[in-house]
Structure 1
Amino acid sequence: MTAETDVVVIGAGASGLAAGTRLRQAGISFRILEAASAPGGRAATDTATLGVPFDLGCHWLHDARANPFTALAARLGFRVGATNPSPRRLHLGARFATPAEKAQADAQVDQVFAAVIAAGRAGRDVAAAEVAGPSGRFGPLARHWLELMSAAGPDSISCADFAFYHDTDDNWPVLDGYGALVLAAAGVLPVALDCPVSRIDRSGARLRIETAQGSLTCHKVIVTVSTAVIASGRLAFAPALPPDMAEAFAALPLGFAEKVALAFEEDVFGVPERTALDAIDLDHPARAGASALLKPGGAPAALVHVAGPEAQAIAADGEGALVAFALDVLGAAFGAGLKTKVKRSRVTRWADMPYIGGAYSCALPGRAGLRARLHEPLERRIFFAGEALGREAFSTCHGAHLSGLAAAEAVLAALKSTR
């Protein structure tokens, strides 16, 4: 590849595709370069493993009433579940919780979250573990939900960052697949696949983008790759990034959150479609927790969500270890016999993907303010976007989408001012 273009977009995830749609609308010459063999990034829908669509990454329309993908789903004919799943069930290692225990557990989770948010809003950029209070009987469940929300352990979650996130109760699933929706909304764009970018050379009058398929030059670049890719040096800059910007990327690591998809020969659960299950072991509170969605799309299947350092330790033993853990969790609740009725399984490996490197960003304690640094372009030529730059919607697909649109608008304004 040897070419010239006005703008290069690095990454064809939700933010890169959003930037591309805006540049296409403006009639600007641009190219999107994607390291993977398919577009979408962490927005990816699988339709084969379970026989029904399920998302390997983002699944929920967070803040759904204000989420731009809600209107896009309606326009494109994607089904959305405008209600939450059936009431969540709680399994305590050996039995299901009583209604009173479930209420007590929910209250403790709410109490921990309220303490973390209150500390953050008071300007305390400290670890969530510092303000969560005594563990209490259902402390492991509160820890599990902090880890699901942030993909990090309570010691690595900034209260200020956690409090900055805008949350509502409007979290609706995209029943036909959020990843599929992201691709449909983008339409046909000039995306070069299997084209990882190794370096952005900013030493000359034009930016030089070095890729596995050759080099190209451009006036502006929108970088939408994950913070982990930049912090690790997989995407390098010459000259190097300013120290404060490099510090900001390092301060927003991607945590660990994965899914185990399990298809069974028959219905092994006997529960309504899309039943939600949380599982913790009160006898072994240090063990990883899990959350599962049972019978998605009515299929005899389960999606088991794990997150945080305890789950990451299990994953260190390989994909089979995560499958075994998921089956142990489900078997404890619905009978070990279900382990003999597994037809197919699939485990996400976001943390192991070299051009992604984790789940979603979470600011380290004491570093929450550094998110804002990434919203500033470098030399008015290099602009950044992605879920880490979704402002109060960070870590979400729609936050990534909005950041891509904002970066494209900034690029268009910069190009106009120089012409």
Structure 2
Amino acid sequence: MTLPQHVDIAIIGAGAAGIGAARTVQAAGRSTLLIEARERLGGRSWTVTLEGGIPFDVGCEWLHSADRNSLVPIAHQLGFVVDTSRPRWREQTFNVGFPADERAAFRAAIEAFYARAEIASGADEDAPASRWLEPGNRWNPLIDAISTYINGCELHAVSVHDMDAYEETDFNWRIKHGLGALIAAYGAPCPAALGTVASVIDHAGPRITIETSRGTLTAERVIVTIPTDLLAAEAVRFSPSLPDKVAAAAGLPLGLADKVMLAVTSHLDDLPPDGHLYGATDRAGVGSFHLRPLGLPCISGFFGGSHARQLADAGEGALAAQAIDEVVALLGSDWRRRLRPLTASRWSHDPFARGSYSHALPSHAGDRAILAAPVNDRLFFAGEATSPNFFTTAHGARDSGERAAREALASFSRR
């Protein structure tokens, strides 16, 4: 599309937050435009269809806290099928490498860790969550592995205050044809300039000027939804500068969680639908494997933290090779010829993301509120990193976009 000369509210970034903002602005009758560097909607929400019709959510996949998740009614409204079966993340199919008695011991250990961390979250000091691991506990590596899936990093880099702020209701559902597909459909009615990289937001004059790779436009208000790593690196520059926003973004870096999809080429009946395996229990750098998700002929592997970053940096194919090695170690050498890589994510190498989702560094839990605060009733900020309780999630991002849009709309009556 051709860039308009002017809109009421311009939105930088067309992920879940930007789309949530655009839908809210549209409903209020104001003109808007999503300015998106990628050639697609969705940001870190992205579904691709693999061979055999297998949907693969390259980014976010689960409707976390589904009983309170704003994307659930949106899915119903748009005709998407919601699968309400619960994940088996705490289980180990076949008991291989992680028998039932050990799983019970691990559950007790991780529950005790969270209980200690919850008490610690009431203290003034916002210390690393790792401080509340029991020294020498046999299950500390697996507890750290869980952190890499949840936070994208190990516990030493996680604020204990922030960890406690997250709200989890233990209802985790899925979209049958992909969460990324839902978010793209939700954004379809919104005007968007795709393949358009914003570089400067000049808010010095009576109208805000936005410089992009396809020209310049002006707006009365701007909502910024880009990931924190890009804000911290000033990939989009503000004029006048906003050092408090840059610093807050730096305190909320993106961790890394990458996924790989493996085709199961034979002996499909040997795997139960929606089974689960941990690749190992004695180290933090290990995969979590979803066997035959939704009954499909595949295995989805999930890796997080520094281990995922090392695999991403090792190049294409490293994640799949590691996943196959771990599955084969559990199920036997015959499985090496039954598995074939289909695709994998490398979010740390995506120039418009540079990671997966935010975590607050120790002493930086308060940065979420700093990042979310408006500037002079003209610049507004959204994205999962600005959500006080549902950060790291697609619905937290969407809700933050709606919140920022309402703030922007209300500002017109004050000026």
**Structure 1 and Structure 2 fold alike (TM over 0.5):** yes
Query: Please, which moves more after superposition, 400-409 or 331-340?
Result: 331-340
The structure-2 alpha-carbon separation of the partners of 1:135 and 1:39, relative to structure 1 and needing over 3 Å to count, comes to farther
Q: How far has the Cα of 1:332 moved from its partner?
A: 1.0
Q: Is the 8 A contact 1:268 1:334 kept in 2?
A: no
Instruction: Please say if 1:256 is aligned against 2:256.
Output: yes
Asked whether the equivalents of residues 368 and 385 of structure 2 are also in contact (C-alpha less than 8 Å), the reply is yes
Q: Greater CA deviation, 308-317 or 215-224? A: 308-317
Counterpart Cα distance in 1 of 2:84 and 2:13: 31
Report the alpha carbon displacement of residue 134 of structure 1 after superposing the two structures with TM.
1.8
Q: 1:79 to 1:33 in 2, by over 3 A?
A: same
Question: In structure 1, which of residues 52, 55, 61 is the aligned counterpart of residue 54 of structure 2?
Answer: 52
SS of the residue aligned with 1:380? coil
Are the structure 2 counterparts of residues 416 and 79 from structure 1 closer, same or farther at C-alpha, using a change threshold of 3 Å?
A: same
The answer as to whether partners of 1:254 and 1:358 remain within 8 angstroms in 2 is yes
Per-residue CA shift, 1:68-116, capped at 9, x if unaligned?
A: 1111222222222223134744489x94322111111222222223322
The count of corresponding residues between Structure 1 and Structure 2 is 413
Question: What are the within-5 Å matches in structure 2 for residues 17-416 of structure 1?
Answer: 17-49=19-51, 51-86=53-88, 88-90=90-92, 95-241=96-242, 243-267=243-267, 270-282=270-282, 285=283, 288-416=285-413
Hey, what's the Cα distance between the residues in 2 that align with 1:184 and 1:317?
34
Which letter maps to 1:351?
S
Q: Distance in 2 between matches of 1:267 and 1:226?
A: 42
What's the CA shift string for 1:285-336, capped at 9, x where partnerless?
3x61111111013222111000011232232211221111111111111223
Is contact 1:50-1:262 (8 Å) kept? no
Could you say if the C-alpha distance between residues 35 and 133 of structure 1 is closer, same or farther in structure 2, counting changes exceeding 3 Å?
same
Distance 1:349 1:49, change over 3 A: farther
Aligned residues of 1:196 and 1:211 also touching (Cα < 8 A): yes
Tell me the SS of whatever aligns to 1:260.
Answer: strand
Tell me how far 1:376 sits from its aligned partner.
1.2
Alignment partners' CA distance in 2, 1:378 and 1:358? 26
Residues 50, 336 of structure 1: alpha-carbon distance in 2 compared, 3 angstrom cutoff: farther
User: Could you tell me how far apart the structure 2 residues matched to 1:49 and 1:275 are?
Assistant: 21
**Aligned partner of 2:321: which letter?**
A
Helix, strand or coil at the partner of 1:204: coil
Taking a change above 3 Å as real, the CA distance of residues 135 and 62 of structure 1, as seen in their structure-2 partners, is: farther
Poorly superposed stretches of 4+, deviation over 4 Å: none
> Partner amino acid for 2:389?
E
User: Contact 2:267 / 2:338 at 8 angstroms: preserved in 1?
Assistant: no
- Please give the per-residue CA displacement for 1:367-414, whole angstroms capped at 9, x wherever unaligned: 111111112111211100000112211111111011000111111111
Q: Equivalent residue of 2:319, what SS?
A: helix
Q: CA RMSD in A?
A: 1.9
Aligned counterparts of 1:380 and 1:415: Cα–Cα separation in 2: 9
Deviation, 1:341, is 3.3
- 1:14 — aligned with what? 16
CA distance in 1, matches of 2:166, 2:87: 23
The alignment partner of 1:393 has SS state of coil
The answer to whether the 8 A contact 2:324-2:339 is kept is: no
Structure 2: distance between partners of 1:87 and 1:372: 31
With the length of structure 1 as denominator, give the TM-score of the two structures: 0.94
Partner SS, residue 210 of structure 1: strand
Residue 27 of structure 1 and its aligned partner are, at CA, apart by: 1.2
Are 1:263 and 1:301, in contact at CA under 8 Å, matched by a contact in 2? Answer: yes
CA contact (8 A) 2:255 2:359 kept: yes
**In 2, distance between residues paired with 1:188 and 1:399?**
21
